[in-house]
């Protein structure tokens, strides 16, 4: 049985449904990332798990126990807030110890626990300071210390890194990952940053407008997005989504991507799709990530699904480690990710290698991925 189970969770404000029947499970020690654009309901979902917001229907179980009616303090959870929510009138030590104080833990025990956690997070020298005297990264550590010291069943993180600058964010991300590895705690983590979701999660749940779009491992969500929204949301630069048409049938079926003033790009049907189920003339949307379109020399030699097509180079964007090459098909920009030293000039015509093993097809009507 899963450690954290959410079933049929719905939340309505008046007539507006902000959570539309969420079903989620997380095993003990798992790291679930709730990701989605702002307003998708991910923070609301986290708050209902915390018990800070009520919900209309459904059930939340932690370790088999239904916690619907339990107050936040009785759920044995700890939460790290976006603003850190450190009590401004208390020192770092008092902040970390406040939860234990409220629970009537004797002072010597409290002191010992504070010291232990402060040592783990390397904030021992800050214990006497007030939050206003700390830097952003230090506040972040104190907020995590306050959560860690209680040794709760589930940790909840509400966009904990969004207030940090870019460099610190990457550092703290690694620390959180280490912390998870070291403590083996069950974590639910909310973010709008898909990179954070990919790097941290053992499981990702993508939300949009209060509905789950896909739940899966980072690899599943990235490689086999369930629909166009997930395909577009996860990954940077985003997946190329090109309107295409199925031509021929069965053995000879192929994909045709129209091009302005030129022969169409013709590709094989990707192996992720059962070609037999596609009808001739059927419109589809081809989803292919930038790293699956390369220069032929940089393509995966072991993949039997490489199709090479020539195309006109519009823009070249060197990014240091890679070079992004922009071409155009089906009236859309197509981004290819080539080696940094690939010889590409804007305006030239070069061969592009499409790795169809990494491509997916979507139904343009429903937006769902075709299998």
φ, ψ at 230 (rounded to 5°): -65, -40
DSSP 212-225: EEEEE-HHHHHHS-
Binding residue for other proteins (CB under 8 A) from 30, 99, 216, 270?
99
Minimum gap (Å) between residue 6 Cβ and other proteins: 18
The total number of residues written for the chain in this structure: 371
From residue 66 to residue 85, the character string flagging contacts with other proteins as x (rule: CB under 8 A) and all else as - is -----xxx---xxx-xxx-x
- Tell how strand 77-80 and strand 16-26 pair up: unpaired
Q: What character string, x for contact with other proteins (CB under 8 A) and - otherwise, covers 141-180?
A: -----x----------------------------------
By three-state DSSP, how is residue 85 classified?
coil
| SS3 state at 133 | helix
Between the CA atoms of 342, 348, 349 and 353, what dihedral angle is there, to the nearest 10 degrees? 20
Residue 102 binds other proteins, judged by CB under 8 A: yes
Nearer Cβ to other proteins (69/321): 69
Report in angstroms how near the CB of residue 288 gets to other proteins at its nearest: 42
* Torsion sign over Cα 188, 180, 126, 100: positive
- 253, 215 Cβ separation under 8 angstroms: no
**Which of 23, 56, 87, 263 is close enough to bind other proteins by CB under 8 A?**
87
Beta bridge partners of residue 325, listed in sequence order? 316, 336
Per DSSP, what are the bridge partners of residue 303?
none
From the list 65-73, 196-204, 209-217, 271-279, the region that binds other proteins by CB under 8 A is: 65-73
> Structure tokens of 243?
């309107």
Find the shortest distance in angstroms from Cβ 146 to other proteins.
8
CB of 279 to other proteins, least distance (A): 53
Is 225 one of the binding residues for other proteins (CB under 8 A)? Answer: no
Q: How far is the CB of 188 from other proteins (least distance, A)?
A: 14
Closer to other proteins by Cβ: residue 186 or 240? 186
82/124 with CB nearer other proteins? 82
Residue whose pair of structure tokens reads 């986290």 in the numeric block? 46
Distance CA 223, CA 343 (A): 28
Per-residue contact flags (x/-) with other proteins for residues 28 to 47, judged by CB under 8 A? -------------------x
The C-alpha atoms of residue 66 and residue 76 are separated, in whole angstroms, by: 12
How far, in whole angstroms, is CA 371 from its chain's centroid? 23
Residue 185 lies near other proteins (rule: CB under 8 A): no
- Of 9, 18, 50, 127, which lies in the binding site for other proteins, with binding defined by CB under 8 A? 50
* CA pair distance 224, 222, nearest whole angstrom: 6
Pair 178, 5: CB distance under 8 Å: no
Closer residue to other proteins, CB minimum distance, 149 or 360: 149
> Could you tell me how many residues of this chain bind other proteins (CB under 8 A)?
21
Q: In this structure, what token pair is assigned to residue 238?
A: 């985003």
Instruction: Please tell me the distance from the alpha carbon of residue 150 to that of residue 105, in angstroms, as a whole number.
Output: 11
Q: Which residue, 96 or 335, is less far from other proteins as judged by CB?
A: 96
Q: In the complex with other proteins, which residue's Cβ is closer, 18 or 96?
A: 96
Query: Which is it for strands 186-191 and 31-35: parallel, antiparallel or unpaired?
Result: parallel
- Region 244-263 residues binding other proteins, contact defined as CB under 8 A: none
**Site residues for other proteins per CB under 8 A:** 47, 50, 52, 71-73, 77-79, 81-83, 85, 87-89, 98-99, 102-103, 146
């Amino acid at each position: 049985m899963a450690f954290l189970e959410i079933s049929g969770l719905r939340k309505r404000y008046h007539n507006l449904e902000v959570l539309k029947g969420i079903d989620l499970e997380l095993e003990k020690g798992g790291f679930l990332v709730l990701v989605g654009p702002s307003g998708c309901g991910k923070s609301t979902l986290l708050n209902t798990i915390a018990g800070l917001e009520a919900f209309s229907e459904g059930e939340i179980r932690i370790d088999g126990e239904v916690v619907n009616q339990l107050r936040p303090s009785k759920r044995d959870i700890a939460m790290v807030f976006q603003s850190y929510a450190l009590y401004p009138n208390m020192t770092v030590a008092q902040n970390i110890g406040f939860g234990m104080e409220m629970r009537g833990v004797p002072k010597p025990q409290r002191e010992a626990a504070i010291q232990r956690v402060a040592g783990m997070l390397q904030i021992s020298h800050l214990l006497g300071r007030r939050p206003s005297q700390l830097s952003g990264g230090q506040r972040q550590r104190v907020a995590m210390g306050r959560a860690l010291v209680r040794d709760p069943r589930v940790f909840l993180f509400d966009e904990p890194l969004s207030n940090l600058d870019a460099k610190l964010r990457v550092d703290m991300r690694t620390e959180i990952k280490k912390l998870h590895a070291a403590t083996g705690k069950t974590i639910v983590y909310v973010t709008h940053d898909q990179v954070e979701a990919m790097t941290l999660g053992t499981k990702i749940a993508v939300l949009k407008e209060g509905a789950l779009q896909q739940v899966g491992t980072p690899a599943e969500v990235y490689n086999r997005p369930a629909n166009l929204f997930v395909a577009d949301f996860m990954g940077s630069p985003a997946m190329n989504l090109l309107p295409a048409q199925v031509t021929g049938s069965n053995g000879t079926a192929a994909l045709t991507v129209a091009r302005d003033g030129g022969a169409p790009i013709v590709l094989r049907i990707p192996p992720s799709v059962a070609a037999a189920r596609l009808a001739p003339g059927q419109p589809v949307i081809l989803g292919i990530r930038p790293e699956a379109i390369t220069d032929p020399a940089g393509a995966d030699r072991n993949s039997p699904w490489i199709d090479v097509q020539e195309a006109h180079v519009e823009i070249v964007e060197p990014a240091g480690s890679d070079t992004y090459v922009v071409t155009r098909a089906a009236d859309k920009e197509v981004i290819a990710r080539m080696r940094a030293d690939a010889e590409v000039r804007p305006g030239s015509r070069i061969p592009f290698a499409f790795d169809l093993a990494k491509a997916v097809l979507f139904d343009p009507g429903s937006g769902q991925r075709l299998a």
